[in-house]
Amino acid sequence: SGVFTYDPGFMATASCRSAITYIDGDKGILLYRGYPIEQLAVQCDFLEVAYLILNGELPTRKQKDEFVSIIKSHTMVHDQLTRFYNGFRRDAHPMAVLVGVVGALSAFYHDAMDISDQYHRDISAHRLIAKLPTITAMAYKYNVGQPFMYPRNDLEYTANFMHMMFATPCERYEPNPVLVRALDRILILHADHEQNASTSTVRLAGSSGANPFACIAAGIACLWGPAHGGANEAVLNMLEEIGDVSRIGEYIKRAKSKDDPFRLMGFGHRVYKNYDPRAKLMRETCHEVLNELGLHDHKLFKLAMALEKIALEDEYFVERKLYPNVDFYSGIVQSALGIPTRLFTAIFAMARTVGWIAQWNEMISDPDQKIGRPRQLYTGTTQRDVVPIDRRG
């Protein structure tokens, strides 16, 4: 009819039906397939949660063992894929590298185009979940000029990722269970968050029947934006800018000022207005990690904890319910683990790949599925005739 609802940012439009993730921002509830995030984060590991998100049910012991062994069988990347890295500058941002290399996977798996076949959909999901840690760790190694480390399949998923990050050919990486668990928890908390911008991007790209690896690359491109996946990176950059506990007052004053656009990064949330259940879990982990590594007295972390305390007590922040969010704590944890700030969003992408591919799969299997084709309210000129070039002006 030409009359469409104008809804910028899709604030009032449900783009799909989904049975994967439920969020109640006012009550601080986040469920994956009906299970509270608080229970999953404490009782399950990342691959169990990945199985749940993909298949709808938690695995039995036998199903889990099978799933783990399938994922392990896909952790290597084709040797040809390693050549893509050499085409980048050493200082290339890991997210730029990920967009390129994950997109390139589509050229290695043309069979994934056969999306009507559940076998191909499953194997694409398994390949993505298995290879993202390898590809992410390779982006890091390329940045720092160290040789790529092969995956170690005797290690669990997250410990293997840490091995590929931190081991070198002359130094073995001995996983510390407290630290592995901390990173595993970050992955669980970031695995899905219903129809956010990057997930909607994956669904829209996939709605044309595009190769799933290319769709995930589109999701990574979207996640890279500072308004989406870049917040934990912004937290660390802000802490470094503040630099010292003595300067916190100055920054708090700026954050409160109406004339200063500065905001405290890692505080507040668009959806979780009372509290963010992920932040509560991450806070626990943050203190565990700082204790384990004896880092409470380290300048940066002392600063972070002082900032947290002020924000939790200061009237301005309390009144507006500006609690530290999940990114505040996950940024600190990753930094304490020795992960460089510019890799944070890539690790977010690694975790969210599970949600993206599950949502893609759900869309492809939906009998109502149509190519995504938003309409517009046209604001240009009405029809007119072309004037010959010499008579224009």
Show which residues are catalytic: 269, 327
Q: What are the C-alpha distances in Å from 362 to residues 55, 88, 379?
A: 10, 35, 35
CB count within 10 Å of CB 101 equals 25
CB count within 10 Å of CB 286 equals 24
Cα–Cα nearest to 212, from 111, 297, 309, 130? 111
307 binds ligand CMC (CB under 6 A): no
Q: Is the Cβ of residue 267 or residue 356 nearer to ligand CMC in the bound state?
A: 267
CB count within 10 Å of CB 319 equals 8
Q: Which stretch binds ligand CMC (CB under 6 A): 58-66, 104-112, 215-223, 317-325?
A: 317-325
352 binds ligand CMC (CB under 6 A): no
Rounded least distance, CB 48 to ligand CMC, Å: 22
Q: Is the Cβ of residue 143 or residue 201 nearer to ligand CMC in the bound state?
A: 201
322 binds ligand CMC (CB under 6 A): yes
Burial of 91 (0-12, 13-18, 19+ CB in 10 A): exposed
Number of residues that bind ligand CMC (CB under 6 A): 14
Q: Is the Cβ of residue 25 or residue 372 nearer to ligand CMC in the bound state?
A: 25
- For residues 295 and 336, the answer to whether their CB atoms sit within 8 Å is yes
Rounded least distance, CB 119 to ligand CMC, Å: 33
Q: Is the Cβ of residue 48 or residue 327 nearer to ligand CMC in the bound state?
A: 327
Rounded least distance, CB 367 to ligand CMC, Å: 31
Q: Name residues whose C-beta falls within 8 Å of residue 345's C-beta, 6 or more positions apart in sequence.
A: 94, 95, 223, 224, 229, 230, 232, 233
Binding mask 184-223 for ligand CMC (x = CB under 6 A): ----------------------------------------
First and final C-alpha spacing in the chain: 36
Tokens coding 78: 């084709």
Q: Quote the radius of gyration of the chain (alpha carbons, Å).
A: 23
Cα–Cα nearest to 186, from 107, 284, 88? 284
- Half-sphere CA count of 132, side-chain side, radius 13 A: 27
Name residue, tokens 């469920």.
Answer: 31
Q: Is the Cβ of residue 9 or residue 380 nearer to ligand CMC in the bound state?
A: 9
Q: Is the Cβ of residue 94 or residue 266 nearer to ligand CMC in the bound state?
A: 266
Residue from 75, 199, 207, 325 touching ligand CMC (CB under 6 A): that is 325
Binding mask 245-284 for ligand CMC (x = CB under 6 A): ----------x-------xxxxxxxx--------------
Q: Is the Cβ of residue 97 or residue 322 nearer to ligand CMC in the bound state?
A: 322
Tokens coding 16: 């799909």
CA distance 135 to 148: 10
Tokens coding 119: 């076998």
Tokens coding 351: 């975790």
320 binds ligand CMC (CB under 6 A): yes
Rounded least distance, CB 25 to ligand CMC, Å: 10
Rounded least distance, CB 192 to ligand CMC, Å: 12
Rounded least distance, CB 276 to ligand CMC, Å: 7
Tokens coding 374: 């938003």
342 binds ligand CMC (CB under 6 A): no
SS3 state of residue 207: coil
Q: Is the Cβ of residue 117 or residue 250 nearer to ligand CMC in the bound state?
A: 250
Residue from 327, 353, 360, 362 touching ligand CMC (CB under 6 A): that is 327
Q: Residue of minimal CB distance from ligand CMC?
A: 268
Binding mask 222-251 for ligand CMC (x = CB under 6 A): ---------x--------------------
CA distance 381 to 357: 41
Rounded least distance, CB 184 to ligand CMC, Å: 18
Amino acid making up residue 57: E
Q: Which residues bind ligand CMC (CB under 6 A)?
A: 231, 255, 263-270, 320, 322, 325, 327
